[in-house]
């Protein structure tokens, strides 16, 4: 009597496949293959176990060979069927597209028209805005560009909404023209303010320069007056031109007492020093005299006057 392993290895494709018997045969083979317990501690027991496993492998190979022979023609037919399926799909899709093309083209045209109208309204809205995101008026150049764009918009571009667009275009032009005038007025006012500020600054500078010049002249005149007072006949140090000439011609009878030329020279040097301080040092005559006294007293280091 053949065992399950031997029987399975000799069955036909009709017996093995497509009849729902595969799992039952596998279970029967499992039961038979595991029925014997092998003593693996002996050489004979190990060989018997290996032989039983080899029988299972041999049955597997035989069954798979029968199945492969059965499915190969089926696979070839399946490839042909798959190729025809793709041919049908692609061909019928192309026919469907061709049949539907008039409607598809009409839908695309309508979509393009709607997009064009939407863009036209977007341009209209953008160019009708006179202020930026901070709420300030755009520059004159930007406003003029917006007005030019509004004037070039075609009502026909708005399709069925041409009447609405015409009203919006008119309103936009009116708004931008008003903004242009406002911008012009603001720019002119700003220019006037800048001119006034510049003029005020120039006037203030002229006032300060005149004030400085007037003060310098007044101080110089005061110094001249002080010098004149120093050189009056009432001043004990005053020497008239005639006396000075006479003194220069004839030697003094007491030269150790004759200090008039020296004193006159000192006065002249002092007066010139005060004049120069007033004119070039930016001080008044009183301050110049104080500086002179400080130098004469030796209170100004490294500075002296030689008479």
pLDDT tier for residue 137 given thresholds of 50, 70 and 90: confident
By the 8 A CB rule, do 153 and 173 touch? Answer: no
Look at residue 253 in the predicted model and tell me its pLDDT: 41
Cα 128 from Cα 12, distance rounded (Å): 88
Look at residue 42 in the predicted model and tell me its pLDDT: 93
pLDDT tier for residue 260 given thresholds of 50, 70 and 90: low
pLDDT tier for residue 40 given thresholds of 50, 70 and 90: very high
Q: Return the structure tokens found at 7.
A: 């029987």
Look at residue 108 in the predicted model and tell me its pLDDT: 94
Cα 287 from Cα 119, distance rounded (Å): 82
pLDDT tier for residue 47 given thresholds of 50, 70 and 90: very high
Look at residue 235 in the predicted model and tell me its pLDDT: 46
pLDDT tier for residue 227 given thresholds of 50, 70 and 90: low
Look at residue 219 in the predicted model and tell me its pLDDT: 80
Of the candidates 145, 117, 119, 120, the residue with the CA atom closest to the CA atom of residue 130:
145
Look at residue 1 in the predicted model and tell me its pLDDT: 37
Look at residue 258 in the predicted model and tell me its pLDDT: 45
Sign, Cα dihedral of 34, 35, 41, 42:
negative
pLDDT above 60: residue 92: yes
Look at residue 224 in the predicted model and tell me its pLDDT: 72
Q: Which strand (E) or helix (H) includes residue 55?
A: helix 43-127
CB contact burial 171-187 (16+ within 10 A = b; e otherwise) = ebbebbeebbeebeeee
Whole-model pTM: value is 0.39
Tell me phi and psi for residue 131, to 5 degrees.
-120, 150
Taking only the tens place, the pLDDT of each residue in 235-251 is 444 444 445 455 454 44
* Arithmetic mean of pLDDT over the chain: 81
Taking only the tens place, the pLDDT of each residue in 177-206 is 999 998 888 888 988 999 999 999 998 988
Cα 167 from Cα 75, distance rounded (Å): 72
Cα 287 from Cα 278, distance rounded (Å): 9
SS3 labels along 94-134:
HHHHHHHHHHHHHHHHHHHHHHHHHHHHHHHHHHCCCECCC
Cα 145 from Cα 28, distance rounded (Å): 93
% of the chain exceeding 70 in pLDDT: 84
Give the lowest-confidence range in 38-47, 193-202, 206-215, 294-303.
294-303
pLDDT above 50: residue 170: yes
Q: How many CB atoms lie within 10 A of CB 112?
A: 10
């Amino acid at each position: 009597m053949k065992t399950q392993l031997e029987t399975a290895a000799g069955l036909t494709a009709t017996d093995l496949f497509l009849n729902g018997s595969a799992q039952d045969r596998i279970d029967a083979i499992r039961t038979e293959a595991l029925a014997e317990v092998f003593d693996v501690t002996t050489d004979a027991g190990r060989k018997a176990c290996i032989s039983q496993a080899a029988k299972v492998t041999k049955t597997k190979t035989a069954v798979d060979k029968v199945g492969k022979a059965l499915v190969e023609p089926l696979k070839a037919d399946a490839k042909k069927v798959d190729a025809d399926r793709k041919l049908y799909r692609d061909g019928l899709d192309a026919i469907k597209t061709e049949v539907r093309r008039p409607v598809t083209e009409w839908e695309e045209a309508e979509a393009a028209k709607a997009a064009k109208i939407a863009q036209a309204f977007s341009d209209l809205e953008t160019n009708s805005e006179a202020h930026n995101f901070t709420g300030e008026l755009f520059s004159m150049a930007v406003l003029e560009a917006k007005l030019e764009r509004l004037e070039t918009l075609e009502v026909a571009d708005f399709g069925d909404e041409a009447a609405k667009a015409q009203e919006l275009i008119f309103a936009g032009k009116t708004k931008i023209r008003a903004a242009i005038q406002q911008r012009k007025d603001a720019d002119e006012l700003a220019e006037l303010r800048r001119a006034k500020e510049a003029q005020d600054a120039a006037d203030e500078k002229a006032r300060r320069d005149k004030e400085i010049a007037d003060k310098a002249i007044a101080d110089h005149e005061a110094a001249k007056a002080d010098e004149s007072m120093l050189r009056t006949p009432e001043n004990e140090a005053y020497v008239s031109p005639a006396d000075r000439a006479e003194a220069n011609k004839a030697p003094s009878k007491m030269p150790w007492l004759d200090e008039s030329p020296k004193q006159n020279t000192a006065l002249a040097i002092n007066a010139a020093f005060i004049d120069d301080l007033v004119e070039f040092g930016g001080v008044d005559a009183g301050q110049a005299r104080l500086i002179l006294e400080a130098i004469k007293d030796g209170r100004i280091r490294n500075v002296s006057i030689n008479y």
